[in-house]
Amino acid sequence: MASPPTTPPLVRLTRATERLLCGSLGTAMAVNALQAFVRPDLPWFSTLWLGLWILTGALFPVWAGLRAAEKARYARHRAADEGPPGSGPSFRPGTAYYGQAA
């Protein structure tokens, strides 16, 4: 029996970074709402607020770069599977894209 396909390391890293980014953004927004409505007078609260927004700002370019690399990898593999231009399934007569302008 064949083993199930494994997720490439780049995809796993991108997903982990995406989860961290979404978690830090959500937490930063919740802390922001808490600060707006409750106004806690805790000495460490402003440090938490600032740290969450800095983490979100630092994670976004990392995630964007990983996502761009993931998409480029996918495009390379897809191009390798289709063969030379004009030989893929979208250029065969009778398909939905045959004869249409790009």
Cβ atoms of 26 and 19 within 8 Å: the answer is: no
Where in the chain are the domains? Answer: 9-72
Distance of CA 33 to the CA centre of its chain: 26
88-98 per-position pLDDT tens digit: 555 555 555 55
Q: Which amino acid is at 36?
A: A
**Pairwise pLDDT comparison (70 vs 99), residue with the higher score:** 70
Digit-coded pLDDT (tens) for 29-86 = 999 999 999 988 898 999 999 999 999 999 999 999 999 999 998 888 777 766 555 5
Query: Which residue carries 């959500």 as its tokens?
Result: 26
Higher-scoring residue by pLDDT: 80, 102 = 80
3-state DSSP percent of the chain in helix, strand and coil, to 5: 70, 0, 30
DSSP 61-95: HHHHHHHHHHHHHHHHHHHHHH-STT-SGGGSTTS
pLDDT at 101: 55
Q: Is the pTM higher than 0.85? A: no
